[in-house]
Amino acid sequence: MEEKSSGLIHSRIIKILTPYISVYPSCKLKSSGLMLYARALQDVPLDELDAAMVRLMRTSKFFPTVAEILESVKTTREVISGKDTSGAGAAWHEAMELVRHVGPYRPWTYSSPAVERAVKQFGKIELCELETDDVHTARAQFMRIYNAEADRERGREEVRATLKALGGNRAMELVKRLAASKAMEPKQLRGG
C-alpha cells in the first residue's frame, strides 16, 4: 500500500517538474533523473515545490539541483512564517538581547539549537561580562562559532530527511547497522 501512495506522489512531483525543464534549454535531465528528484522531494508539499520552482526559475540559469530546491522551500517557509532569523548576525543579536533582558542567572530560551550551542560554547557568563572594547572581536568569534553549529544542524536535518526518504525498513536497517558498528569501535580500540 505504501508503495502505491509513494508512486502516486512521485508521479505528481514529476508532473510538476516536467514543464520547468523547458525553461532550461541546456537541461539534459531524463525521466530516470526526474524519478530520483521525485524520490528525494517526496516529503515536500506539492504547492511548496511549485512555489520553489517558480522562485528558482527567476534566479537560476540552470535546472536546480535537489539541494537548491530544498533550500528554496526552506527559505520560502521561513519568510512566510516570519521565522527568517537565520544567520550569524541574527544569532548574535539574539544573544545580546538575552544578555540585556534576561541576564546571566535566569534561564535563556533560544530560537534554535544552533544558537543555544553557540552560546554554550562561547560562554553565557563571558557574553554577559563583555567589555565595550571587546564587543567587535567577541561578535566575530561568536559568529564563527554559530556558523559552524548551524552547518552541523543543517547536516543533521539533511540526514533526518534522507532517512525519511529511504523509507522505514531501509532507514531502520541502516541505523541499526551503523549503531552496531559504532558499538564495536571501543572493543576494536581496546584490542578485542
- What is the average pLDDT across 60-74? 91
Residue 151 C-alpha cell reads as 552547518
Q: Taking all residues of the chain, what is their mean pLDDT, rounded to a whole number?
A: 85
For the chain, how far is it from start to end, CA to CA, in angstroms? Answer: 45
In this prediction, residue 190 carries a pLDDT of: 47
CB atoms near residue 84 (< 10 Å): 13
Residue 106 C-alpha cell reads as 535566569
Write down the domain spans for the chain. Answer: 2-81, 88-190
Give residue-wise pLDDT tens across range 90-126.
Answer: 899 999 999 999 999 999 999 888 899 999 999 999 9
Per the CB < 8 A criterion, the answer to whether 28 and 65 are in contact is no
Does residue 183 carry a pLDDT above 80? no
- What is the reported pTM? 0.52
Which of 61, 65, 4, 70 is closest to 36 using CA atoms? 65
